[in-house]
Structure 1
Amino acid sequence: MPDHLQNEIDPTKLPNHIAIIMDGNGRWAKEKGHDRLYGHYHGVESVRNILEGCAELNIKYLTLYAFSTENWDRPKDEVDGLMELLVDTIRKEVATLNKNNIKLHVIGDMNTLPPSARKALEEALLETSHNDKFNLILALSYSSRWELLQAVKNIAADVKEGKLTIDTIDQDTLQKYLATSEFPDPDLLIRTSGEYRISNFLLYQLAYAELYFTSTRWPDFRKKHLFEAIIDFQNRRRRFGKTDEQISLREPEQLQHS
């Protein structure tokens, strides 16, 4: 099935950057009579499978919403288990990331993570820093409102110090102060498990992304689901505020430069 779907994908119209809200681990586990951590452990296999799918299609950027700032309010046992899983997974996967030329990035407030998690992440970031085929971005202890607040504070500080003037601040300035400043904005957002919310994730960056929602729980999400989302994406017409006529006039030009 995945191979059949992959053949339906137009390689000239791929999203450059896919962002995923990995939802449904806990519900998946409870439906099977297990605790929520059981779902998180099985969700790791989905991450591996989706990374493989993105690599096969030559997608350049994948951002995964792994842990939000709001997730700190979950039961302590679950949070502790998630942090242990994070450390264990990162350390196990570094060799695979290097083998596949994948560079790891982290966005979020790393200072709030336990020391063991920070250490594992810092080591993985350093060990994969030379890779340049594919970028895996983990959003950890991240929320868009936190990110925007930090950007505003840093811009204000630079204005106060004379590094910026108010009149020169524009959208490009703001983007340089975001946690995602070195990445293009996502073209496609996927959310699993049947929820229809953005949940404080990349609110600024998703302004023109195509949104795709599926009822599939994250531990069941596989390449075939990814390919279905990309096929759906390719069947949409991205206008960016323009009319159909304007887009039609630009399409021949875009094809010449692709």
Structure 2
Amino acid sequence: MSDRHPTVEAPIPNCPKHVAIIMDGNGRWAQAQGKPRLFGHHAGAKRVKEIVRACPDVGVKYLTIFAFSTENWKRTQSEVSGLMSLFRRYISAEMKGLVKEGVRVRFIGDRVRLDGKLQAMMDDLERRTEHNEKVHLTIAINYGGRDEVARAVKEMACDVASGKLDPTSVDETTLTGYLDTRVLPDPDLVIRTSGEARISNFLLWQSAYSEYEFIDTLWPDFTSDVFRSCVSRFAGRERRFGGVKA
């Protein structure tokens, strides 16, 4: 995170507190340039840095990004290996900058399938940034919304079986407390890049009342200006959460 910071603009009134992004289009961006797919993933990783830095400028406190899904293991072994290597390189290269710039980093998803070195690096980055408050960056790796809920329900069942939890007391709040995101507010805005109009198993429980933006821009072309535009459009929406305007 050592690049020069762009010009600071005024925060956007009524902007979303928490923005989640499905970062799609890295492979197509690379292929359009005659490059291998991993070239696009590297370009996308650089874009993450710009968007994290843009968050305080627009007024966004929480940013959650979808880096690798539970379904992404179906990709070629070379691409998966390349992505895992990229995650390790990103953490190593950006750790000092993230700490210095006040970014709190968390990871969500099932870590069991990830290699030990990557897990240790993730733990270390979380520990080193745990007192930061400027921006809360959550990175979803080996994450799937259905898998998250299934793991939460399994843990709840174990607590019921051991007598720690009264099953008659279980409600929506109880389940929320078992999710990977239990310490985070629900996303106000979910953005998906690359022109695809689906949510791909991302934050299924948490996004029940989120606003959505499906945009054509490929992730490596998703600049801070595009980010600001999405946030600005959100600010003009009326959110009723099932109610009606008074």
Q: Same fold (TM over 0.5)?
A: yes
2:156 equivalent in structure 1: 155
CA distance in 2, matches of 1:57, 1:99: 20
Whole-angstrom CA distance in 2 between matches of 1:130 and 1:3: 26
Contact 2:12/2:58 (CA < 8 Å) preserved in 1?
no
| Equivalent-residue separation in structure 1 for 2:17 and 2:231 (angstroms) | 11
Number of the residue aligned with 1:120: 121
Residue pair 1:67, 1:139 contacting (<8 A) in 2 also: yes
Equivalents in 2 of 1:41, 1:31: separation in Å? 15
Q: 1:130: which partner in 2? A: 131
The answer to which structure has the higher helix fraction is 1
3-state DSSP of counterpart to 1:164: coil
Q: Secondary structure at the match of 2:71?
A: helix
2:200 matched to 1:199?
yes
CA distance in 2 between partners of 1:15 and 1:231 (Å):
9
For 1:85, the equivalent position in structure 2 comes to 86
Counterparts of 2:40 and 2:28 in 1: how far apart (Å)? 8
Secondary structure of the residue that 1:66 maps to in structure 2? strand
Query: Aligned residue for 1:173?
Result: 174
**Residues 49-87 of structure 1: per-residue CA shift (max 9 Å, x gap):** 101110223321100000001001100000000111110
8 Å CA contact retained: 1:91, 1:124: no
**Unmatched tracts of structure 1, length 5 or more:** 246-258
1:234 aligns with 235
- Does the C-alpha gap of structure 1 residues 74 and 37 become closer, same or farther in structure 2, counting only changes over 3 Å? same
1:255 aligns with none
TM-score after normalising by structure 2: 0.94
Partner SS for 1:110: coil
Could you tell me which residue of structure 1 aligns to residue 3 of structure 2? none
Specify the alignment match of 1:142 in structure 2: 143
CA distance in 2, matches of 1:147, 1:229: 27
2:40 aligned with 1:39: yes
* AA partner of residue 12 (structure 2): D
Task: List structure 1 segments (4+ residues) > 3 angstroms apart after TM superposition.
Answer: none
The match for 1:109 is: 110
- Per-residue Cα deviation, 1:88-121 (whole angstroms, up to 9, x for no partner): 1111101111111111100001111112211221
Matched residues, percent identical?
Answer: 45
1:18 corresponds to 2:48: no
Partners of 1:55 and 1:90 lie apart in 2 by: 21
Report the residue type matching 2:229 in the other structure: E
For 1:107 and 1:10, locate their aligned partners in 2 and report how far apart those are by CA, in whole Å: 28
CA contact (8 A) 1:102 1:131 kept: yes
CA contact (8 A) 1:46 1:222 kept: yes
RMSD of aligned C-alpha atoms?
1.5
Match of 2:77 in 1: 76
SS of residue paired to 1:172: helix
The 8 Å contact of residues 21 and 192 in structure 2, kept in 1 or not, is answered as yes
Larger gyration radius, structure 1 or structure 2: 1
- Indicate the SS of the match to 2:88: helix
Amino acid across the alignment from 1:69: T
Per the TM alignment, residue 132 of structure 1 is displaced from its structure 2 partner at its CA by 2.0
Cα 1:213–1:120 change in 2 (3 A) is same
The whole-number CA distance in structure 2 between the counterparts of 1:122 and 1:165 is 32
Normalised TM-score (structure 1): 0.90
Tell me the amino acid that sits aligned with residue 41 of structure 2: H
Instruction: State the number of aligned residues.
Output: 241
Deviation at 1:3, TM superposition (A): 6.9
Kindly indicate whether the alpha-carbon contact (under 8 Å) linking 1:17 and 1:185 is maintained by their aligned counterparts in 2.
Answer: yes
Unaligned runs of 5+ in 2: 1-5
C-alpha distance in structure 2 between counterparts of 1:134 and 1:181, whole Å: 17
TM superposition shift of 1:126: 1.5
* Alignment-mate amino acid for residue 218 of structure 2: R
Letter in 1 for 2:126: L
